[in-house]
Each structure stands twice: as C-alpha cells, then as structure tokens.
Amino acid sequence: METGFLSRDLSIVILAVGAATFVCTRLKQPLLLGFIVAGILIDPVFKMINDHSVIIELGELGILFMMFFVGMEFNLAKLRKVLTPSLCAIILQTATMCSVGMAGAKMMGMPAIVGLFLGGMLSISSTIVFIETVSARGDLNKKYAHLATGILILEDLLAILMLVFLSGVAISKAVQWDKIWHVCFMLITFVVAIYASGKVFLQPLLRKMSISGSNYTVMIFTLAMIFGLGELAAELEFSVALGAFLAGSVLAGTAIANQIEKIITPFKNLFVALFFVSVGMMITPSEIFRLIPTILAFSALVIAGQSVSCFIGATAAGVEPAVAWFAGINKARIGEFSFVIAALGMKLGVIDSSIASIAMGVAFVTIFANPFIASRASAIAETFSKITPRFLKSALEAYGNLLQIARKNLDANLLLKTIRGELAEIAVYFILFNSVILGASFASDSAYIESLPHENIAKTIIWLAAGILTLPFWVAIIRKVSIMIETFIAMTLKRKMQRYKIRLASILRYSAALGISIALLSIYLTAASMRLPIAATLSFMAATALAIGIIFYRNFTQINTRLEYAFIENFNKNLENDGEFKREKLRSNILNKYPWPIDISETPIDRGSQAAGKTISELSIRRKTGANIVAIEREGFVRYDINPNTLLFPGDLVVMIGSAEALKDAERLLTTRVPLTDEDIKQNTFKISYLVAGLNPEYIGKTLRELNLTRRFGISVIGIQRQQEKISTPGADEKILSNDILLVMGKPDDVNRLSLEIEK
C-alpha cells in the first residue's frame, strides 16, 4: 500500500473519530457507539477507505492497550476473592450460550458444528467495552465491577482454549482433549511464570535503571513491555492481548504505575477509537438489514442469557444477589473475541458470511442496548423481586447463610488452612519448575541453536543450566511437602502415639522426597531426551544436577527463601502503591478517629466538575448537604488539616462523613459537571511544582500559617522535601527551614506568581 493512501486513510478515520466524539458528547451518548457508526459510514456506506485491512490491524492495538490497562487494575488479592464465583458464573454462562447457539443453528437448518461456533461467539463478552463503559461511569472500583472483571479475565483465557477446541473439532471432526489439556497447562505455566518473575525481579530492575526519572524513558520501557510480552505470547500461540494483560499486571502497583497510566492513556484512547471504527468497517449494512429479525432474537438471548446465567452462577457461589445481578447485566454483550472466532470459522470453511454478519449485528445491538438496559438494572431487579415467591426468597437467604457458616468453619480449621496454603505454593513451584523445562525446550529447538556447528554441545549446556535452575523449585517442593507432613502428624496424632511421631515423620518425609525427586527427574529427563540423543550425556547431566542439588541443598534452600521473601516484599510494596489499598487504609484511619458508627463516602473530583478549583467555603457543602469533609487524598498524600480555604483540584479524592442521604447530596454537588469554555479550561488547569523555599530569606523560620500561601496565592502545599525526609500533608504550624523544597499545587499563574516571589 502506498504511503499516501495510508496517510489519507488515517486522516479520514481520525477526522471521523473527532466528529463522532463531538456528536456523542453533545447527545450524551457512549463514545464507542459513535465510533462504530463512524466506521460503518466511512467504509461500507461511502467507500472512503482504500485499504481497510491496515486500519483494522491498527485498531487491534486498541485491544492490546485496553488489556494492558485491565492488567494495571489487576489485583491478585481481589481476583482470589472473586475466583470461585467467577468460575461458577463463566461455566454456567458458557453452557447456556453454547446451548443457545446449538439450538439456533438447528432452527436455521445448519449443522451442529456451526452451532458450536455460534455458541462460542455468543459466550465471550467484550472486556474492552465493559472497561470503557464502567470507567466512564466511575464504577470501576465497585463490587460488581470487581466481580465482572474477574469473570472477563477468565473469559479471555477461556477464549484461547475455545479457539483450540473449535479448530480441533473443525479439522478432525472430533474433540482433541489431549491438545486442550496441553494448551491449558501451557497457558497456566506461561501466566504464573511471567507474573511471579515480574513481581520478584521488576522492582529491583526499576530501582537499578532509575527508570522513573524521565517520562520518555518510562514510555519506551512500558511500550517495550507491552509489545515484548505480546510477541512472546504470540510465539507461544497465545493471544497478544494476554501478553499485554500480563505486562499491565506486573507493572501494577510499582512506583511508576501512576506515571505509566498518565503517559500511556493517550495511546489507549487513540487506538481504542481506531478499534471501534474498524469494527464498524467490518459490518455490511445490507447483510445486517436482511438478518435483522435473527440478530434481534440472538441479541435478546445474549443479554438475557448472559445476565441470568452469571447471576445464578455467582449467587450459587455465595455472592450477594444485587452484586451478582449488576455484574451479569453490565457485561451482557459480545465483542472482540467473537469476531476472532467468526474469522476462524470462515477461514476453516465451517461457517459462511451470514453467521459472521449475525455476530457483527449482535455485537452492535448488544453494545448499543446494554448501557440503556444496565441503567435500569435496579428497576428490573425490583420488578423480579416483587414477583418472586416468598418461599424462594427464604430459601435463597437460608442458602446464603449456610454458605457463610460453611466458609467460616473452613477458615477456622487450622489444619485445612495450613495444608491449603502449602498446596497452593507447591502448585506454583511445580509450574515454575515446568516453566524452566519449557524454556529450555524452546531454546534448544530454536533455529539458531540448530544451525550451530556444535549443536549437541550447545543443547547440553542449555539443559545442564536448566537442571541447575530447576533445583531451587525442586528443593522448595520437598520442603513444602515436609511441612505438610509434619503439620498433619502434629495435629492429628493422638497423645498415646507421640513417641512414634518423630520416626513416622522422618519415614514419610524421606519417602516423599524420594518420590518427588523421581517424578521431577523423570519430567526433566523425558524433555531432555527428546533433544539430546546421547544416553551418556543425559546420565551425566542427571548425575551432575543431582550431585549439585545434594551438595548445595542448603544454598538452594536459602535461594528459595530469598525468592519467597523478594516476592512477598515486592507484592506488599505493590499493594501499598495500589490505590484501593490506600483508600482502605484511609477509611480505616477515619473509622479509628470516629469510633461511633458513621457512613463514609469517597468522591473523586474530575476536570469539568463544578467543584474543581473552588474552596470548601465557596461550595458550602456542610450548609447545603449536612456532610463534612474530613480528608483529601492528593497525589498520594492524605490531608486531614481541612479548613474553609482548602482548594479542591481535579484528581482529588474527597472523603466525607455524614448520613447516607447527606453523602448522596454531597456527591451530587461535587460531581455535577458544567460546560467548559476556553476560559474555564484555563482556570481548571492545575500545575504541580517543586519550589526551593530557602531562596527567599523572609520565608525561613516562618510557619505555613504565617505565610498564608493558600489565601495569598490560591495554591496548596501538599508536601515538603527536607533533605532525606519527606513530610506529607504538612500542618499549618510546620516551620520552613533553609533547605526545604515545597511541593505545591495550583493554577499555573498562581504557582508562577509564588515562584517569582520566592526567587526575588
């Protein structure tokens, strides 16, 4: 394709995106719908694009950036909380929608294999649309969004398995279970290996590279992570979106996470818009009009089927019915992976263009209709609640209570809790052991190694190194099994048999160690023997690795302990950097300060909000609503010294206490948006700057109260750097010393005026 055509096509698409943004903002409609309509108009209708395949490929980058941001929001602790309900919901949803697909294909006179593909298309919701929609509403941190995100993450992993399953059925006309299990194992190994290694090694790497110093360096590093892990996932025949998700998950909670979000957001916004335009370009209006009744029927079944099946599955797993319902109805649509499944079916000659058009049409209708239906989720739930028989409500309540009692009993069982934790760690170490084996397999099978003149020597070195690298995980598995054995014996053996405890524990420990060593050695030798034909070489390698393991057992134990410590330490640091963790800590501090029962509200101040740039006294929140502002989180600092002259800035998180009704009124007051003129935009632009206070002798020795910078300049002092000490939220009586550096926030003109006064 000529460069001129590419430039012209991109210009048309970006102009269309701009026009769609303007129209949708005016009409208060979701932007993504405008982008899809723009795509339909510029290509299928007016034929303005020369080569739409390039735009489609660029649009696919939107999936990468969106999955990266999903990864940035990923929290292992949160996912663990919703893992069981997410699994229950996704199993029931997949079964329901596959049944709908099979029944639909039969009614249309098509074979069962078409029904399988159609069911697959209807089973996978759109992560990218959900995140965009929920983020726009500011609900990303609500309980239902956490549950829905957990389901969507598992759906993306399910989509990969579904592609393997459907490919096998289409080609061999039979289910290739061995291939499916192989892909499952490879997928779990890849995810665990990348996530664990990222959490252990990334923080020290960032510190050594001093990577947070420059926006340019952070941008290049982040893009390299996204595309590097995406390409690695593609090489292993997974989705590039999975690699981008993992890139986001390992960078989440790091010291540069907020910086990354600010830098990469413009890339995400551009390519997400291109993605939705490319979706519109793939829709053929004439085919859609011909299939309107079928599309509307399937759309209704998708919204109803996904909503109800997720609701039932999550509720059965013990989730509150309201949370389960909101999660199900807000994700009830199909999207990007459905198009991938449709493309696969057409490539294999299993489905024709009409099925692909149905998928496109259903995606468009569900994406368009879902926000309107989801906005009425409470009314729908209330209607069903009224017509639900009382005995069924009582049964559901009793079931929920039973689950809570069972969960409490399980949590109280010390033996089960200990063994469960050790089993989880054993599983992780086993996966990491296999990841080293798989890495060695890919390395020794690479074209570069096979092209070397001494190929066997190179492969021997690779597998000897792999054997040594697996030893810490080998030792860790034996240690964890030994702990389980000792714990089990200590907690179950009767007092009369105490004298046999040590001997029995020793016998079981050594037997387990021998059995584990034989099993792991067999895995290692089986993989190596496929690449190294010389039996003597294999024996030498096995003997060498075993000897090293025995001689340096204590060293490998120490290495394993250090790895565990590094993972836990970095994980905790990531947690401390996590926004939700900070908010939970903030809530806890306020609850401790106010020991009586209170309601707490956390409201973010957006740019364009009528509260941005105003003082608390100007807003008169307490007089108008009865709510009190007790703290403000700003740029990672929490301020408790709130006074009437405190300014509110875009990005602030305002914490209030009061009655539920007062808090609701206060939230409405703070979040009400006003149309912005050019002058308003200028007035609502804020700047953060470091100023050396000691440059002005008049400032030295005075308190912040005496300087009265907020009243005089309209700025806020949010921190003080005093040599190696960082003072967050300095009090009004904090004195300024000669070497102090003030971290101030305010409108650019106000900050510049203060800077001039200090420097004079």
DSSP symbols for 217-240: HHHHHHHHHHHHHHHHHHHTTS-H
More confidently predicted of 135 and 737: 737
Overall size of the chain counted in residues = 760
Residue-wise pLDDT for 46-85, tens only, equals 888 888 788 888 888 887 887 788 778 666 666 777 888 9
Q: What is the mean pLDDT of residues 411-424?
A: 69
CA distances from 313 to 85, 151, 322 (A): 7, 11, 13
pLDDT of residue 534: 59
The answer to whether residue 341 sits within a structural domain is yes
Q: Taking the CA of residue 313 as centre, how many other CA atoms within 13 Å lie in the half-sphere pointing to its CB? A: 26
* Structural domain boundaries, residue 98: 55-375
Last residue of a domain, one of 391, 412, 433: 412
Looking at the fold, whether 553 and 673 belong to one and the same domain comes out as no
The pLDDT-based confidence of 536 (bands split at 50, 70, 90) is very low
Whether residue 603 sits in one domain with residue 647 = yes
The answer on 662 and 739 residing in a single domain is no
pLDDT at residue 469 is higher than 70: yes
Residue 25 lies in a domain: no
Is the backbone of residue 195 left (phi > 0), alpha (psi -120 to 50) or beta? alpha
Give the side-chain half-sphere CA count within 13 A for 361.
24
Q: What is the mean pLDDT of residues 240-261?
A: 82
174: Cα separation from own chain's centroid: 35
Answer yes or no: do 473 and 403 share one domain.
no
Q: What is the pLDDT of residue 14?
A: 92
For the chain, the distance separating the N- and C-terminal CA atoms, rounded to the nearest angstrom, is 59
* Mean pLDDT of all residues in 643-666: 82
User: What's the rounded mean pLDDT across residues 99-105?
Assistant: 93
Number of domains in the chain: 5
**Does 710 lie in the same domain as 596?**
no
Asked whether residue 590 falls in the same domain as residue 710, the answer is no
Residue 615 belongs to a domain: yes
pLDDT at 303 over 90: yes
CA quadruple 533, 534, 539, 542: dihedral positive or negative? negative
Over range 350-365, report the average pLDDT.
85
Place of tokens 């179950």: 492
Same domain flag for 191 and 313: yes
Indicate if 154 and 224 belong to the same structural domain: yes
pLDDT at 549 over 50: yes
In a shared domain, residues 422 and 526: yes
User: What CATH number does the domain containing 356 carry?
Assistant: 1.20.1530.20
3-state secondary structure of 658: strand
* 102-111, 360-369, 518-527: the lowest-pLDDT one: 518-527
Distance CA 303, CA 556 (A): 54
Q: pLDDT band at 149, cuts 50/70/90?
A: confident
Q: What is the CATH number of the domain that holds 659?
A: 3.30.70.1450
pLDDT score recorded for residue 53 = 80
Average pLDDT over residues 104-129: 88
Q: Beta-carbon neighbour count of residue 579 at 10 Å?
A: 17
Predicted confidence (pLDDT) per residue in 680-707, tens digit: 545 556 667 777 776 677 888 888 888 8
Task: Give the model's confidence band at 575: pLDDT under 50 very low, under 70 low, under 90 confident, else very high.
Answer: very low
Same domain, 566 and 458: yes
Residue 544's CB is within 10 A of a number of other CB atoms, namely: 13
Mean pLDDT is lowest, of 111-120, 301-310, 653-662, 725-734, for: 725-734
User: Does any domain span residue 28?
Assistant: no
Please answer whether residues 65 and 294 qualify as being in contact, where contact means their C-beta atoms are separated by less than 8 angstroms: no
Q: Are residues 612 and 477 in the same domain?
A: no
pLDDT recorded at residue 582: 53
Answer yes or no: is 207 within a domain: yes
Mean pLDDT for the stretch of residues 184-207:
80
Quick one: pLDDT at residue 679? 53
Residue 176, pLDDT > 80, answer no
Residues 526-552 have a mean pLDDT of 62
**Are the CB atoms for 470 and 520 separated by under 8 Å?**
yes
Q: Domain for residue 338, yes or no?
A: yes
Beta-carbon contacts of residue 141 (< 8 Å; ≥ 6 apart): 579, 580, 583
Q: What does the alpha-carbon distance between residue 248 and residue 228 come to, in Å, rounded to a whole number?
A: 12
Separation between Cα atoms, residue 591 and residue 450, nearest integer Å: 65
What pLDDT band is residue 42 in, cutting at 50, 70 and 90?
very high
Q: Which domain-ending residue is among 575, 602, 634?
A: 575
The 8-class DSSP code of residue 695 comes to G
Structural contact between residues 670 and 613, judged by C-beta atoms closer than 8 angstroms: no
Residue 41 lies in a domain: no
| For residue 539, pLDDT beyond 70 | no
Give pLDDT, residue 568: 47
Which range of 105-109, 251-255, 465-469 scores highest in mean pLDDT? It is 105-109
pLDDT at 543: 60
CA atoms within 13 A on the CB side of 410: 9
Q: Average pLDDT for residues 418-423, to the nearest whole number?
A: 75
Same domain, 258 and 322: yes
* Structural domain contains residue 31: no
Which of 518, 541, 575 is the C-terminal boundary of a domain?
A: 575
Half-sphere exposure of 536 (CA within 13 A, CB side): 2
pTM above 0.85? no
